[in-house]
Structure 1
Amino acid sequence: MIPVIVVFAPTACGKTALAEDLFGKSSSFVFKGKAEVISADSQAVYKGLDIGTAKPTKEEQQEIPFHLIDVASPQEQFGLGKFLESADSLCAQIWRRKKIPLVIGGTGFYIRNFLLGSPSTPESRPEIREQIKQKLADLGKENLYAELKIVDPISAKKININDEYRICRALEIFYSCGKPLSSFSLPCELRKQYKFCTLILNRSREELYKRIDLRVEKMFEAGLAHEVEVLKKSGLTKDSPAMKAIGYSEFFIEGLSLEQIKEKIKFNSHRYAKKQYTFMRGIPEACIVDADDKEKIKQIISSFLSSVLL
């Protein structure tokens, strides 16, 4: 089994700083330099989205290696399937380098599925998959999504209209066995190929919202509005996959002033942070730790690494 440290926390909880403090070149931690980060952030994958995603700076990325940062075009849909495939491949590569994979991020949907895996569904039928791919090419994702809403409305609500992979997979399952994807239960046990140390960093809602609001203010000071204008001029629209993100989609709402956009981003970020915690409920063996309790965090990780690196 590959040992993996998984750290979940919503935006503005200090995840990047924690990774540096634990494993960065300048760290005083006994295991410094022993890990590489796999980002579990659904928007940091996109090139050009730097300020609004609070992407690790070049200096931070020199302190500790980061993966799944700037790996996709803003026009490209990078969904759960690509994340899981990439994360699994990276874990194996990092472990071969005698380092520990550190999966860290705030996209609870990604992390939950990485820990537990996807629902146990029927084996793929190549002929049906090819038919759906052809239908996608001929009719477009909008028509396939409309079809999914008819045959499996529960799954459709959970899938973004731009996530072509998951739309096709859900339709493939339905037409392979006549049962919707939503009828298959999610696994409740951790994946067997990994030995996990899972931390959920907790902050009070009041403190978390204050940190989010401060981060949004700093994003505007750093030039978020200009970054969005540059992205628009490059051809991105409100329908581009990357522009669906909080911090970017709000700029496409007509009639809002910059101040109103800023407040809208804060509001949406609060709601999103709350939603991400719900994704992480009931994860087996996860430790919920105060985000500021660095000694407790180091103690848990040190104990884990001592057991797997012996």
Structure 2
Amino acid sequence: MKETKNSGLSFLYKNRKMFAMALLLGGVVGGGISFFIPKKYLSTAIIYPYNSHTRENLVVNPQFGFEVETEQLMQLLESKSMFYRTVEKFKLYDYYGVDTTQNTWHSELSMKYISDVNFYRSKYLSVVINVTMEDPNLAADVANFQVEEVDRYRDAIFRDNRERELAIAELEYTNSGKQLAALKDSIYDLVENKALLYNFVENLDNENFDPSAFVTSPKLEVLVEEYVFELGRNREFRTTFNEMKEALLSPLPSVYSIDTAVPSYKKVSPSFILNILIGALLVFLLTLTFKMVGDKWHSLRTESK
């Protein structure tokens, strides 16, 4: 073990000039390449999720969302719909120079977008939006667009579902009204005084009211019972429909914007020092490998003679 270590150190020392030149050359190459790599700038926005989907609850209990809400917000931000919305808003296929006539343009665009636009959940349960692009102003605009658009996207998802439910509630209310009108017509066919039905309904909750003056036959009694039952259902349907309609007209709560992205003109890549170190290391390892292989080859040829 000790002999191997000494042999390795001896090998490095013996070829120190070569390896020093390799390190120097690699550093120069790495530093030179840095000037040809496009500069990129980082913009960051930080948001917290809502803890309720209604403004009334937010007024009573104004808190940030918890882990579940944060995960839901992350899923929305990372969705394909948000990707398409961002691409169309800023024409990112032009920014990335993607040829849309090629079959692979969508995959290429998606990979570049994912590389530049990142989301992660912080330990404080906030969502951090990092956008790295060659244009600092574009990076800030894209980051802020995520904050603004995710509310509109969520509203669109909920609105589709809520409108379907509202349509069902409206249909139930309408059908109940038709049934109520049909029962009323059937009752009117059996009674002469039309005002008695109104008086009967108005006094349903009056314990001292005597319905015998109105309900004069078994058939009429059955119709009145059905009418009273349907009237109760109709009132419930109307209340549900009005509540859902009011809720649909009310805007959903927005995410909490903690930090708005601003253009940063300090580049985050390429790193001049890092490229020098990487270049020096790569050329050194390449030189070391060739030297060891060359010495081994020379040794084998010598032994074969």
TM-score of the pair, normalised by structure 2: 0.20
* Larger helix proportion of the pair: 2
Higher relative contact order (CA 8 A, sep 6+): 2
Larger radius of gyration: 2
